[in-house]
Amino acid sequence: MNPFRKKTKQLTREQLRRRMLILLGLAGILCVFALVAPYLTPNDPNLPNAAYMNAAPCKEFPLGADRYGRCVLSRVMIGARTSIFSAVALVFLTFVAGSLLGMLSGWYGGVLDAVIMRVADIFLAFPQMVLAIAVAGVLGGSLLNAMIALGIAGWTIYARLARVHTMALKNEPFILAARMNGSSGLSILLRHILPNMIGPLLVNAVTQIGTTMIGIAGLSFLGLGVVPPNAEWGSMINEARAYVQLAPWSVFVPAVAVIITVMVFNYLGDAVRDYSDVSEAK
Amino acid sequence: MAEKRTIKQVRAVLSKAPSRELLLQLNDLRVSYGSFEALHGYSLDLAPGEIHVIAGESGSGKSTILKAILGLTSYSAEVTGGSIRFAGNDALAMSGRERRALLGDEIGLIAQNPAASFNPLRTFRAQFKETLESHGRKLDEHEVFHVFRTLGLPTDSRVLDSCPYEVSGGMCQRVAIALLMLLRPRLLLCDEVTSALDVTTQKQVADELLRLRDETGMGILLVTHNLGLASYLADSVSILLNGDCVDKGPDVLTSPSHDYTKKLLHDVPDFEEVLRDRSVFPEDTARALALTDVHKTYRVRGNEVQALKGVDLTLYKGEILGVVGESGSGKSTILRQACGMETPEYGDVELDGRFQYIFQDAYASFDPRMTIRQSLYESIRNAAQKRSEKPLRGKKIDAYDQKILPILESVRLSDDLLDRYPGRLSGGQCQRMAIARALIADPEVLLCDEITSALDVTAQREVVELLVELQKDRDLSVVFVSHDLALVHSFCDRILVLKSGEVITCGDAKKVIRHTEEPYTKQLLDSVLTVR
């Protein structure tokens, strides 16, 4: 690097913080919207209407109707709850379980570490989506099964990350000082190790929300997730794709919903990471 | 050893040189980091062949001067006033390209951490080649080995074909100097070049710098907090305090004018001063710690490293035992075996009573995400649990303050530091806080691992005086690991000298320092640079 060149202007800490807060706000709006959506739907999302099959957007159906004459807008609104909350819940659960296993593995080492990490390696050996399709296929199609299928390999990233951080922190003088002082292993893990690595783990979790959402939508698209007539963005796209020339709105509306939501959560992940990077560097 | 010449002699040698103008002129130089002014007007005239040393504690603006001369704006430092003239040319008026052209050919830098100034994954040969080629020169092995020979480096391809991580810190530093000898800049900037080195390598590097100056007549600007090194090398010295130059001239260290310089010189440990009456312990005194024939081997990437080869160590109750040796001699390994952090593969360790361990890096020994108060509370809670008391929680936790306050008083710290995070304390304060935390457990044995080596002399003296006082008041037994012979001599009862995992000598401090016949101890003593 040329030491004489002025650095390109970077966002200040305050600007990064503002960006993170704006995206956090957007994600919050999406979540709140998903919560209250059932009370706001203009029509019954599951009620077929033969008179409006593949109807174009009109006064009654603002974003058109699908091949059964169901209101696309209402279904996308109801689907938001399934898509967003199943993704957030799944990330949360895998994050907690994976971090816990990783911490134990990194802290105690030995046989426990070997067992946990070899199991993780087995799951990582398969492409995640292929494994999920296989598992969901065996378990049968339902939202819960789709979540299990994705979660069964999802915890491994958190476990590996938590393990590495724990192992690095384990030999820091302040951890040794706490040990010399008589703190128990559990209290060191919770009081010293967890707070010192929660930042990067959390950042990783937030960036995973978008990916997980696409994973669930993907499984539903393949018919391995949400069962009809319940609405979910992936399964809506799947149902409507045969009629894309007749009724493009019934494909594009849920697709746009997926794109917007995934983008918001991905940008949020990036913003949290950038902000925590500058905070670390002070 | 290179004979130290006076500046007059060197100038006489250099009078043959065509240019006799000043090499570097700093005039009222001011440097700011953002709105914070780190340097409030510093002036210096450096002639070719002159060694000027800038000394002062950390944060006094020493390294800032070097950054300004190098023109490294990426450190977010900005020259806000004054001028820098290099060989008569105004450096601040030059373009970035022109200034960059000066680096290497005209101005060289040896950084504090030699390993960090090389790419760790490439061999020295590749890096020498790259550097020389960027100055339009070819790598000539003959020339390199000639330079290596003068530096006492092996003159076959062994070192040249090694990567930086494969050689020791001292060797790495000498390779860095070798590269500069090949480039032969007119001005050499050294940033704390010896602080990462052992006393013996420190001396070698200092001698090399003297020789380099004598042979090439380069001007050297050296930044250090080691006044012994300053007095060994310097033709003239500046003393910096909070960005101001408080004392400057050739006689600063022999006849200081400013109070701060006097204090600094007073705080430097020397072999004359004794901080505490030494006691002699008869053989049958009760023992606080005993290591018998302890062996320890580490396995590093398939290689076995014997860290301890049958070490015997006895610490009597109420004694301060100093353990000295170069880095890698096994000093810290002994402590780790003693406290049970690691178990030796052979030999016995007996530790009688409660003990506490104090770390070299005080900052790292506190959880960065906890305030000092929270860390101290945790220690009290642990101590209470050991006595099977129920730990206090919630509001009742204030009762713990009653325990903290007297201990803080005994380490002479004020209680308004309690709500700070460790990074907001000074090095000395943080180390004393670490001692306070150790005292909460009411220990009988203190294991101190280089606890003053990261501190400047003033803070070091405070910590040592505190340790001496605490030892007396609480009748502690202390193992004090250090590489500073003068410091250890000033307050330890006995000294144990360690070399590559073996005890070289152990005995009464005075005897070991004054009347030793043992060659390695003598070599260590000869390498100590004291302020003359």
Is position B323 within any domain? yes
> Which residue of A4, A6, A181 is in closest CB contact with B382?
A181
Q: Give B23-76 as a 3 state SS string.
A: CEEEEEEEEEECCEEEEEEEEEEECCCCEEEEEECCCCCHHHHHHHHHCCHHHC
**CB contacts, 8 Å: A173 with chain B:** 359-361, 364-365
Q: Which residues of A touch B (CB under 8 A)?
A: 1-7, 172-174, 176-183, 191-192, 195-196
Among B237, B266, B295, where does a domain finish? B266
Which residue of B70, B74, B339 is in closest CB contact with A180?
B339
- The identity of residue B344, as a single letter, is P
Examine the domain organization and report whether B259 and B293 are in the same domain.
Answer: no
In angstroms, the separation between the Cα of residue B379 and the nearest Cα of chain A is 6
CA distance B236 to B250: 4
Cβ separation B357–A196 shorter than 8 A: no
* Total H helices, total E strands in chain B: 18, 19
Whether B339 is in a domain gets the answer yes
Give the count of beta carbons closer than 10 Å to the beta carbon of residue A30. Answer: 18
CB contact under 8 A, B368 and A3: no
pLDDT at residue number A8? 39
Q: From start to end of B192-302, where are the E strands? A: 219-224, 236-241, 244-249, 287-300
- Tell if the CB–CB gap between B378 and A183 is shorter than 8 Å: yes
The predicted pLDDT at position B74 comes to 56
Instruction: Dump pLDDT digits (tens) for B422-433.
Output: 888 888 889 999
A210: left (phi over 0), alpha (psi -120 to 50) or beta: alpha
Which residue does chain A place closest to B440, by CA atoms?
A181
User: In this structure, are B246 and B291 located in the same domain?
Assistant: no
Q: How far is CA A158 from CA A94, A170, B330, B364, in A?
A: 8, 18, 38, 26
Residue the block writes with tokens 């037994």: B477
Confidence of residue A29 (pLDDT cuts 50, 70, 90): very high
Question: Ramachandran region of residue B85, left (φ > 0), alpha (ψ -120 to 50) or beta?
Answer: beta
Please indicate whether, in this complex, the C-beta atoms of A4 and B386 are within 8 angstroms of each other. Answer: no
Please state the CATH superfamily assignment of the domain spanning residues A34-43+61-281 in this structure. Answer: MetI-like (1.10.3720.10)
In a domain, B205, yes or no: yes
CB pairs under 8 A between A and B: 68
Same domain, B250 and B342: no
CATH code for position B467: 3.40.50.300
pLDDT of amino acid A161: 93
Most B-contacting residue of A1, A7, A174 (CB-CB within 10 A), to test interface: A174
Asked if residue B299 is part of any domain, the answer here is yes
Q: Is A282's pLDDT higher than 70? A: no
pLDDT digits (tens, 9 = 90+) for B476-521: 999 999 888 888 999 999 999 998 889 999 988 888 888 888 888 8
Write the single-letter amino acid at B194.
T
What is the pLDDT confidence band of residue B2, given thresholds at 50, 70 and 90? very low
For chain A, the structural domain boundaries read 34-43+61-281
Judge whether residue B7 has pLDDT over 60.
Answer: no
The string of pLDDT tens digits covering residues B10-45 is 545 444 444 557 889 999 999 887 778 888 889 999
**A196 vs B369, B386, B434: nearest CB:** B369
Looking at the structure, tell me whether residues B130 and B12 fall in a common domain: yes
Q: Between B359, B379, B382, which is nearest A173 by CB?
A: B359
The answer to whether residue B275 sits within a structural domain is no
Residues of chain B with pLDDT > 70, as a percent, come to 94
CA of A196: which chain B residue's CA is closest?
B369
B349 in the same domain as B213: no
Task: Please check whether residue B20 lies inside any domain of the structure.
Answer: yes
Q: How confident is the model at residue A99 (pLDDT cuts 50, 70, 90)?
A: very high
Choose from B378, B433, B440 for mutation: most chain A CBs within 10 A: B378
| Percentage with pLDDT > 90 across chain A | 26
- pLDDT of A5 reads 42
In terms of CA atoms, which chain A residue is nearest residue B75?
A3
| Residue B446 pLDDT | 93
pLDDT bucket at A97, cuts 50 / 70 / 90 = very high
Range of the domain at B216: 7-266
Closest by Cα among A235, A269, A264 to A30: A264
Highest mean pLDDT among B74-88, B225-239, B296-310 belongs to: B225-239
A183 vs B contacts (CB less than 8 Å): 378, 382
Shortest alpha-carbon distance between residue A72 and chain B (Å): 50
Residues contacting residue B469 through CB under 8 Å, at least 6 positions apart: none
Instruction: Tally Cβ neighbours within 10 Å of residue B17.
Output: 11
Q: Is the pLDDT of residue B434 over 90?
A: yes
- In a shared domain, residues B85 and B173: yes
Instruction: Extract the tokens encoding A184.
Output: 């128990």
Give the pairing of strands B187-191 and B107-110.
parallel
Q: What is the mean pLDDT of residues B309-324?
A: 91
The domain tally of chain B equals 2
Q: Are residues B194 and B314 in the same domain?
A: no
B377 close to A (CB below 8 A): no
Relative orientation angle of helices B169-183 and B124-134, to the nearest 10 degrees: 20
* Identity of the residue in B74, B96, B367 whose CB atom sits nearest the CB atom of A174: B367
Contacts of B97 in chain A (CB under 8 A): 4
> Following CA atoms A11, A12, A18, A24 in sequence, which dihedral angle do they give, to the nearest 10 degrees?
70
Residue with tokens 């006595």: B387
Q: Which residue has the higher pLDDT, B76 or B265?
A: B265
* pLDDT tens digits along B326-348: 877 888 889 989 988 888 888 89
- On whether both B319 and B190 belong to a single domain, the answer is no
Which of A172, A176, A183 lies at the smallest CB-CB distance from B341?
Answer: A176
Torsions phi, psi of B56, nearest 5?
160, 165
A86 pLDDT higher than 70: yes
Which residue is listed with tokens 């006691």?
Answer: B279
B372/B322 same-domain check: yes
User: Is B438 within a domain?
Assistant: yes
Phi/psi for B492 (5° steps) reads: -90, 150
Residues B341 and B194 occupy one common structural domain: no
Tokens, residue B109: 């830098």
Specify which residues B237 forms β-bridges with.
B53, B249
Cα A252 from Cα A77, distance rounded (Å): 14
CB contact (8 A) between residue A4 and residue B357: no
What residues contact residue B39 under an 8 Å CB cut-off, 6+ apart? B29, B30, B31, B61, B64, B65, B68, B243
CA-closest candidate to residue A152, choices A182, A129, A181, A176: A129
Q: Which two tokens stand for residue B459?
A: 């803070």
- The mean predicted confidence, pLDDT, of chain B is 84
User: What is the mean pLDDT of the segment spanning A236-255?
Assistant: 87
3-state per-residue secondary structure call for B85-102: EECCEEHHHCCHHHHHHH
Q: Which chain A residues are closer than 8 Å to B339 by Cβ?
A: 180
C-alpha distance from B398 to closest chain A C-alpha (Å)? 20
> Do B521 and B456 share a structural domain?
yes
> What is the distance between the alpha carbons of residues B171 and B151, in angstroms, rounded to a whole number?
10
Q: What is d(CA A177, CA B294) in angstroms, rounded to the nearest whole number? A: 24
Give residue B182's identity as a one-letter amino acid code: L
